[in-house]
Amino acid sequence: MEKLLDTLGERIDPAHTAMLVVDVQNDFCAPGGYIDAAMGRDVSGAVPVADAIARLLRAARNAGVPAIWVKAVYDFDYLSAPMLTKIREMGLEHAVCCAEGSWGADWFRIRPEEGEPEIVKHRYSAFVGTPLEAMLRRRGIRTLVITGVATNICIDSTLRDAFLRDYYVVVPAECVGSANRALHEATLQNVNFLFGDLTGGEEIAGLWAQAGAG
């Protein structure tokens, strides 16, 4: 049995931690993107979320914590029948979210540095149909600091899959966001209740800085 990691500092030790950046893309975050134009939802909260992720990325890079970027590509040819059925029920079959190679699929305000891996997903969870888990196992990762959008959909799906695959889950509250505030808060409460650590980016950055100085 692996050693239990009893403190947040132990759990986010740079030696076995990775940072996921999930779906910080124009279609989810930018004015004129899919969530704004096709769904009519307020995306104004995406800017502070992206900026908070940028700050945490600097701390991760300084501490040697790998950043793994997860990008949605939701062309209809890639989607499952249940996903397509829900899209049709919502009357959204006229638009494609994060179409492959489009402006909507590109990163919003932040982007990978050279050498940081990008993983493409066609489901809400970053683990389904992707090489993410194999990549994490090869690197000896035990903890995931999960950031991005939307809290109640792709972040929720990814963190639950991570927990069920025996990873420690850490969510910095200001580094995730959703156009649905109530469901955003519900996911954060579930993380705090059962699935991992709900904390702040500054606390994580501080612990990473201490680890680097030690």
Compute the mean pLDDT over every residue in the chain, rounded to the nearest whole number.
97
214: pLDDT confidence band, cut at 50, 70 and 90? low
Is residue 6 among the annotated active site residues? no
Nearest one of 107, 97, 90 to 148, comparing CA atoms? 107
pLDDT value, residue 212: 75
172: pLDDT confidence band, cut at 50, 70 and 90? very high
Using the predicted structure, report yes or no on whether residue 195 has a pLDDT greater than 80: yes
pTM here? 0.97
209: pLDDT confidence band, cut at 50, 70 and 90? very high
Percentage of residues in the chain with pLDDT exceeding 70?
99
Is residue 121 among the annotated active site residues? yes
User: Which one of 36, 98, 121, 161 is the catalytic residue?
Assistant: 121
pLDDT value, residue 116: 98
User: Which one of 13, 154, 175, 197 is the catalytic residue?
Assistant: 154
- Alpha helices (H) along the chain: 8-11, 26-29, 34-37, 46-63, 81-89, 132-139, 156-164, 181-190, 201-213
Is residue 154 among the annotated active site residues? yes
Positive or negative torsion for Cα 172, 108, 90, 160: negative
